[in-house]
Structure 1
Amino acid sequence: MDVVSAVSVQIAKGKAIECNRFETVDQLVDWHVQRQCTLKRSTKERLNNLKSMAETHVMSLFHGVAITDMNHQKIDSALIQPMFEQGYSVSYVRTNFFLLKTAFSIARRLKHITANPLSEVQFKTFFPETFSVTEAQIKGCRVNTEYLIYILPAIGQQQPPQRLLLMMMLAHGSRIGETRKALWQNISFIEKRWFIPKEDTKNGVAMSYPLTSEMIELLRSYQAWQRELGYNSDHLFPLSRWNNQLIHSAKASEWVRGVLRKHGVHMILESEHDQYGLNWVLITLCVNICLIMRGIS
Structure 2
Amino acid sequence: MAKVTTRLSDKEIKSAKSKEKEYILSDGDGLRLRVKPNGSKLWLLNYTHPIKRKRTNLSLGKYPDLSLANARKASQEAKELLAQGIDPQEDRKRQQQEHKAIHQHTLINVAKEWFEIKKDDVTPDYAVDILRSLELHIFPYISDIPVSKITAPQVIELLKPIEAKGSLETVKRLAQRLNEVMNFATNCGLVQANPLTGIKAAFKKPKKENMAALKPAELPELMGAIANASIKRTTRCLIEWQLHTMTRPSEASGAKWEEIDWGEKVWTIPAERMKKRREHRIPLTEQMLELLEVIKPISGHREFIFPSDRDSKKPCNSQTANMALKRMGFAGRLVSHGLRSLASTTLNEQGFDKDLIEAALAHVDDNQVRSAYNRTDYLERRRPMMCWWSGYIEEAAKGSLSVTGSTQLQVVSAQ
| Structure-2-length-normalised TM-score | 0.41
Distance 1:241 1:103, change over 3 A: same
Letter in 2 for 1:144: K
Q: Alignment partner for residue 129 of structure 2, among 32, 42, 53?
A: 53
Instruction: Tell me the equivalent position of 1:284.
Output: 394
Distance 1:53 1:143, change over 3 A: same
Instruction: Tell me the equivalent position of 1:295.
Output: none
Q: Alignment partner for residue 282 of structure 2, among 208, 213, 235?
A: 208
Partner of 2:302, secondary structure, is coil
Mapped contact 1:218–1:287 kept (Cα < 8 A): no
Instruction: Tell me the equivalent position of 2:179.
Output: 101
Distance 1:114 1:21, change over 3 A: farther
Instruction: Tell me the equivalent position of 2:243.
Output: 170
Offset of 1:53 from its aligned partner? Answer: 0.6
- Asked whether 1:76 is paired with 2:175, we answer no
Partner of 2:255, secondary structure, is coil
Q: Distance in 2 between matches of 1:172 and 1:35?
A: 36
Instruction: Tell me the equivalent position of 2:197.
Output: 119
Distance 1:224 1:204, change over 3 A: same
Mapped contact 1:168–1:179 kept (Cα < 8 A): yes
- Asked whether 1:41 is paired with 2:117, we answer yes
Superposition map of 1:108-257 within 5 A: 118-122=196-200, 126-127=204-205, 140=211, 143-148=214-219, 149=221, 153=225, 156-187=229-260, 193-196=265-268, 199=271, 202=276, 204=278, 206-213=280-287, 215-227=288-300, 231-233=301-303, 235-238=304-307, 244=313, 251-252=317-318, 254-257=319-322
Offset of 1:224 from its aligned partner? Answer: 0.6
Q: Which of structures 1 and 2 has the bigger CA Rg? A: 2
Mapped contact 2:266–2:284 kept (Cα < 8 A): yes
Mapped contact 2:223–2:397 kept (Cα < 8 A): no
Mapped contact 1:259–1:265 kept (Cα < 8 A): no
Mapped contact 1:62–1:78 kept (Cα < 8 A): no
Offset of 1:49 from its aligned partner? Answer: 3.7
Gaps of 5+ in 2: 1-97, 143-149, 348-388, 400-415
Q: Distance in 2 between matches of 1:177 and 1:167?
A: 14
- RMSD (Å), alpha carbons: 5.3
Offset of 1:151 from its aligned partner? Answer: 8.2
Structure with bigger helix share is: 1
Q: Distance in 1 between matches of 2:284 and 2:202?
A: 39
| Structure-1-length-normalised TM-score | 0.52
Q: Distance in 1 between matches of 2:331 and 2:175?
A: 21
1:46-99 Cα offsets, whole Å, 9 max, x none, are 48445521354443355755683635744534574476xxxxxxxxx9656532
1:212-260 Cα offsets, whole Å, 9 max, x none, are 34x4333212111225xxx432x3145678664656xxx42x3355446
Distance 1:183 1:110, change over 3 A: closer
Letter in 1 for 2:156: M
Q: Distance in 2 between matches of 1:244 and 1:169?
A: 21
Report how many residues are paired.
Answer: 237
Q: Distance in 1 between matches of 2:102 and 2:127?
A: 21
- Asked whether 1:267 is paired with 2:311, we answer no
Of structures 1 and 2, the one with the larger relative CO (CA 8 A, separation 6+) is 1
Mapped contact 1:165–1:179 kept (Cα < 8 A): yes
Offset of 1:170 from its aligned partner? Answer: 1.1
